[in-house]
Homo-oligomer: A and B are copies of this chain.
Amino acid sequence: MKVTTSFLELREARESLKATVGLVPTMGFLHEGHLSLVRAARQECSSVVVTIFVNPAQFGPAEDLSRYPRDLERDLSLLKKENVDLVWAPPTETLYPADFQTWVDLEKVSKPLEGAMRPGHFKGVATIVAKLFNAIQPQKAFFGQKDAQQAAVIRQMVKDLNYPIEVIICPIAREGDGLAMSSRNVYLQPAERQAATVLSRALFAIRQAFEDGERDAGQLKQIMQTIFNQEPLARVQYISCADPVTLQELESIENQALFSVAVFIGNTRLIDNMLVP
């Protein structure tokens, strides 16, 4: 496994990789969710590239950039075990030098939900993903369904900007009790960690209600709200039932719906989602 930091080193190492090249972009502090993406890439591609970069452009000024968890050494040892070919872990100045001024922005799919709660977030995401796509030129790129709106933003960007890249979205990895894996779960105190299962419990409940025949988005969202009301440590930011491609809110489910939630558990903001059916 080759580990690179500069752009030139990366490009030199990239030249010798055999196609198909699969890219797994990460912000590090890897968990089983990331590793499931790496394994999917390993299975589908001749070469696997993983990037580790905590992207400042996707954090708001009041967000957790400075305390975002990092452990490069542990990340590298995990990736080595997965037979990754190439890691790029550049310093911030390499990707955002002083005169940096070019941004990729989406007009619609980036606006509701996370985009409304975290202004500028998807501008930062789209820009860094475009940069990584350009620097690495993969044929396939792997992202997690955990960040469902990010997945929709990247799919739209790939289509709009004519990237010859197949975007593969892998299922959410969950802990035994249902909590969606996230690097931010380390912020949770023990009681909060217990309370945090309310997100997946609420989502599994609406899937059950859907299977029982409920199609009205308002009714289904109310089922979730009721479950959140029973958890004193939970403060709901949004509950959404939206079209999975456009992220526009639905009134009833005709084809497929993306249910997504953002919930504060104590001071920690968690997101989760489920595609129905």
Contacts and interface: CB of A to CB of B under 8 A. Distances in A.
Q: How many copies, total?
A: 2
A63 to B, nearest CB: 21
A105 B126 CA distance: 12
A95 B7 contact: no
Interface stretch (A153-161, A204-212, A222-230): A153-161
A157 B11 contact: no
Interface string A96-110: 010111111111110
Contacts of A135: 162, 164
A105 B108 contact: no
A161 B105 contact: no
A200 to B, nearest CB: 31
Q: Which of A97, A159, A164 has the most CB of B within 10 A?
A: A164
A163 interface: yes
Interface in A80-132: 95, 97, 99-109, 126-127, 130-132
Given A162-B7, A164-B11, A106 B101 contact: yes
A66 interface: no
Given A103-B105, A134-B161, A134-B164, 12 more contacts: A7-B162, A11-B164, A101-B106, A101-B107, A102-B157, A104-B104, A127-B161, A130-B161, A131-B161, A133-B134, A134-B134, A135-B164
19 contacts: A7-B162, A95-B162, A99-B108, A99-B246, A100-B160, A101-B106, A101-B107, A102-B104, A102-B160, A102-B161, A103-B104, A104-B130, A131-B160, A132-B162, A134-B163, A134-B164, A135-B162, A135-B164, A137-B164
